[in-house]
Each structure stands twice: as structure tokens, then as C-alpha cells.
């Protein structure tokens, strides 16, 4: 007797969507069809396969699932703040299907087995690909380099010590040199630690009036200037995270013009909010780096348009209520950002500061390229990681009612336009 097995084809057909894929220059109204978790075809009148599930998009935007290149997961070690499962829930609600997880957990991700574990835990969620950053130094303590080669071999996409810069210039030089040998970039939290120590807000008139210890804005530029010089010296690739000041952008722009391997990202608070958001000592708005002056915010918004900034990341830093329910100077810095990543970015589109295609590029193909991921595209044959959103649909951010565990949003009470209607991971609907 001959036994034959026939593969059952499963199709999902998205009808009448605005198909937006900056990676391939696609921006048209049409249909898209997936087959067994991959994009089969798209265009006008492509034909509905028999038995396909039909999603009526009614003109909503269908783009690649968002790629978030800076997320603290809380797990392992800080599960009371966030877990991988709750982060996956929030990510799906925000249209995010791929994220890069910081290594400053407990224990730090400085062991190849932990890199592999993070990736596996992402697969277990069924809704999220987790790309792992590995610790640049053992325990993220900034004292001696981790085993970069073994970590890269295990799948680490880049190296970073998370929310602290490497204080030792010599060690940073070695890090860039070794990382270059493995074809990896070093991701930097640009803040000179001794200048920032004990600070709670950007140094200036507002901090003085509120009686808060200040962090001079130049603390960011000092580290960026140093590491640009080291990138020039070593030929290594350095990426500056959550850039927040005009001076920083000026330095990065010059480095790019010189042809150095220098890139950067920013996060929504730094182009949407300024330091006045901490008025009345709102600890939800205590972030790292701290919110800046209005002229810095405007410079960051301009950097999104002119190409200086390479990606927008959520900079998701979950905090427990007890971390924030303290006097401002003692409260933990950090804000949740997975659910609001798209909506806050679209605010720049609605105020005519940022073209929609550029916004989606900064949230999809650009971070994917930096991370060496094949995500962030609607190309035929690509994984059907998709986000369907209504750009004009209004909603309100309410802390305590957001998907996921972390509720410490600096955007609490904010009205937004741009609602995620559905998220698909490998062709399977995981939200909406």
C-alpha cells in the first residue's frame, strides 16, 4: 500500500488595503494574499484562492510587522515588571512582530545559552520574534569584555551593555575592534556616567525651579564624540541609542558625512515630548535619557526626516508601580512604549512633519537592516508578518488599561490617531 501526504494550503486574502512597503518602494491600493505563512502575491485583482480567509481592509494601511530595535523585557530576573508573555501581548497590540531585547536582565545575557534561550522563548509565544542583544561586558558591569565570538555564534545580533555606556575608553576601543571582526555593531547608551550620576532631569531652569538634581545635556554628546573618534580609529560600527539632543545629531551627521560606520535611533518621547512633561513631578515622564528642551525635541523631529536618524525604537523600559510611586528624584527612570510606538510616530505624520512612508520605513525596514534581519518587508516569499492599521482612527492612552503588564507610559491621557486593527505573525492572526 502506498501512503501519500498532500500539503493543505492555507491562504489569507487581504482585500482593498493601502499596501505600504518602503523597503521595496511599494505604496498602492490593492490586495495581498498569503500562503502557509508567507506572502504569495499582491496587486490589483490578483484573484482569491478557493477557501481563503478574507480580511476586508476597507482602505486601511497594510504594512510589514513593526521591528522594534530596543526593548527591555524584564525576563529573566525582573518578571514583576514584565514577562516575555506580557511583552508579546503588548507588542502584538502595537503591531510589532520582531523586537531586539536588551541584555541587562538578571542574569545578564552574557552566555551563549541565554542568547539561544531568548530566541526560543520568542518562538514559544507564537506571535513574536525575539532578536537578542548580547552583553558587551561580563554582567554588563563595564569591566571586561564578554565572549563576543561565542555570543555572536549563538545568534546575538549586536553587543551592548544596555542602559550604561562603557566608561573606559580603552575597553570601548577593544570592544569596537573585536566586534568588527565578527561583523557586529556595538550599541551605546550615550551618557557620561559621572556627569549623570544622581541626576533626575535635564539640567536647566526647569530642573532648578522644581528643585531636581540635573543632568547636563552635554553628557550625551561627550560619549557620542568619544565613540565617533573610536569608530574612526578602529573601523568598527557604533550605533547610538535613543539620541535626544541637537548637539548629538550634529556630531552623528558629520560622522555619516565622513563615511564612518555610525548609526542611531531615537524613541517617541524625544520627538513628541519635552521637559515640561515632568511638571507636577510626573514620574511616568522620568526617562533615561531625561526629556529635553523644546529646541532639542524639534531637532530630533527634523532628524527623522533628513535621514540622520536611522530608526525609531520604543525604548520600552517596564517599571512596577512601586518603582514610580516615589518622589521624583528617587523614582526609577523608564517608560513603557510597545503599544504606543506606532501611534506616537503617526502624530508626526498627522502634523505634516513626517511622510507616512518614511515613518513606516523607520519602524520596519531600517531597523531590520541594522539588526541583520530579513523582517520588515512585504516582498513575495517573505514571512507574512503584517500590521493592519487605520491611520485616522482615534484612541486614548490610559495607564492601567494598556495590553501587557507594564503601564508606566509617559503618554498617559494622550489622544492619538492611528489604531492597530490586526497583527499577523507568519500568517496567523495574533491581535485584532
Neighbours of 171 (CB within 10 A): 16
Q: Which of the residues 104, 110, 227, 315 is marked catalytic?
A: 315
Judge contact between 63 and 20, C-beta under 8 A. yes
Query: Position of cell 560619549?
Result: 223
How far is it, in rounded angstroms, from Cα 273 to Cα 295?
11
Cα–Cα dist 265/71, whole Å: 13
313: left (phi over 0), alpha (psi -120 to 50) or beta: beta
The Cα angle at residue 130 between residues 93 and 331, in degrees rounded to 5 = 70
How long a stretch of residues is the chain?
Answer: 432
Q: What does the alpha-carbon distance between residue 380 and residue 41 come to, in Å, rounded to a whole number?
A: 6
Tell me how far the alpha carbon of residue 237 is from its chain's centroid.
Answer: 19
Phi first, then psi: give them for residue 139, nearest 5 degrees.
65, 10
Output the CA–CA distances (angstroms, integers) from residue 38 to 35, 46, 54, 166, in the order listed: 5, 16, 16, 41
Q: Is residue 25 packed enough to be buried (19+ CB in 10 Å), middle (13-18) or exposed (0-12)?
A: exposed
Strand pairing of 61-64 and 201-202? unpaired
Gap between the Cα atoms of 188 and 320, Å rounded:
25
From residue 105, give the alpha-carbon distance in Å to each of 123, 263, 317, 373, 411. Answer: 19, 25, 12, 23, 25
CA distance linking residue 376 with residue 387, whole number of Å:
10
Q: Is 322 a catalytic residue?
A: no
Q: How far apart are CA 94 and CA 419, in angstroms?
A: 9
What is the DSSP-derived secondary structure letter of residue 45? S
Distance of CA 73 to the CA centre of its chain: 12
> Catalytic positions, please?
315
Amino acid at each position: 500500500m502506498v501512503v501519500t501526504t498532500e500539503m493543505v494550503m492555507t491562504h489569507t486574502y487581504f482585500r482593498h488595503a493601502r499596501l505600504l512597503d518602503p523597503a521595496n518602494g511599494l505604496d498602492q491600493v490593492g490586495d495581498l494574499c498569503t500562503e502557509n505563512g508567507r506572502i504569495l502575491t499582491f496587486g490589483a485583482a490578483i484573484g482569491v484562492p478557493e477557501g481563503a480567509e478574507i480580511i476586508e481592509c476597507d482602505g486601511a494601511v497594510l504594512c510589514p510587522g513593526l521591528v522594534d530595535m530596543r526593548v527591555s523585557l524584564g525576563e529573566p530576573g525582573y518578571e514583576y515588571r514584565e514577562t516575555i508573555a506580557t511583552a508579546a501581548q503588548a507588542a502584538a497590540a502595537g503591531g510589532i512582530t520582531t523586537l531586539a531585547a536588551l541584555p541587562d536582565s538578571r542574569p545578564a545575557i552574557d552566555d551563549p545559552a541565554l542568547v539561544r534561550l531568548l530566541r526560543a522563548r520568542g518562538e514559544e509565544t507564537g506571535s513574536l520574534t525575539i532578536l537578542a542583544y548580547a552583553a558587551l561586558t561580563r554582567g554588563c558591569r563595564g569591566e571586561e569584555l564578554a565572549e563576543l565570538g561565542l555570543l555572536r555564534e549563538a545568534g546575538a545580533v549586536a553587543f551592548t551593555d544596555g542602559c550604561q555606556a562603557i566608561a573606559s575608553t580603552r575597553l570601548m576601543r577593544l570592544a569596537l575592534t573585536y566586534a568588527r571582526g565578527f561583523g557586529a555593531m556595538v550599541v551605546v547608551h550615550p551618557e557620561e556616567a559621572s556627569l549623570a550620576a544622581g541626576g533626575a532631569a535635564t539640567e536647566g531652569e526647569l530642573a532648578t525651579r522644581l528643585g531636581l538634581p540635573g543632568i547636563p545635556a552635554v553628557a550625551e554628546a561627550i560619549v557620542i564624540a568619544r565613540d565617533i573618534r573610536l569608530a574612526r580609529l578602529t573601523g568598527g560600527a557604533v550605533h547610538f541609542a535613543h539620541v535626544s539632543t541637537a548637539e548629538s545629531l550634529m556630531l552623528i551627521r558629520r560622522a555619516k558625512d565622513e563615511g564612518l560606520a555610525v548609526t542611531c535611533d531615537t524613541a517617541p518621547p524625544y520627538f513628541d515630548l519635552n521637559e515640561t512633561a515632568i511638571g507636577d513631578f510626573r514620574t511616568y515622564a522620568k526617562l533615561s535619557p531625561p526629556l529635553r528642551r523644546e529646541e532639542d525635541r524639534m531637532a530630533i523631529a527634523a532628524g527623522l526626516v533628513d535621514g540622520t536618524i536611522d530608526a525609531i525604537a520604543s525604548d520600552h523600559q517596564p517599571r512596577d508601580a512601586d518603582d514610580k510611586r516615589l518622589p521624583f528624584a528617587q523614582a526609577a527612570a523608564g517608560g513603557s512604549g510597545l503599544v504606543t510606538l506606532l501611534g506616537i510616530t503617526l502624530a508626526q505624520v498627522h502634523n505634516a512633519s513626517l511622510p507616512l512612508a518614511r515613518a513606516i520605513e523607520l519602524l520596519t525596514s531600517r531597523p531590520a537592516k541594522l539588526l541583520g534581519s530579513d523582517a520588515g518587508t512585504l516582498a513575495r516569499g517573505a514571512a507574512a508578518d503584517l500590521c493592519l492599521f487605520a491611520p485616522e482612527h482615534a484612541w486614548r492612552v490610559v495607564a492601567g488599561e494598556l495590553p501587557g503588564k507594564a503601564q508606566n507610559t509617559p503618554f498617559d491621557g494622550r489622544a492619538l490617531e492611528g489604531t492597530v486593527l490586526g497583527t499577523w505573525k507568519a500568517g496567523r492572526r495574533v491581535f485584532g
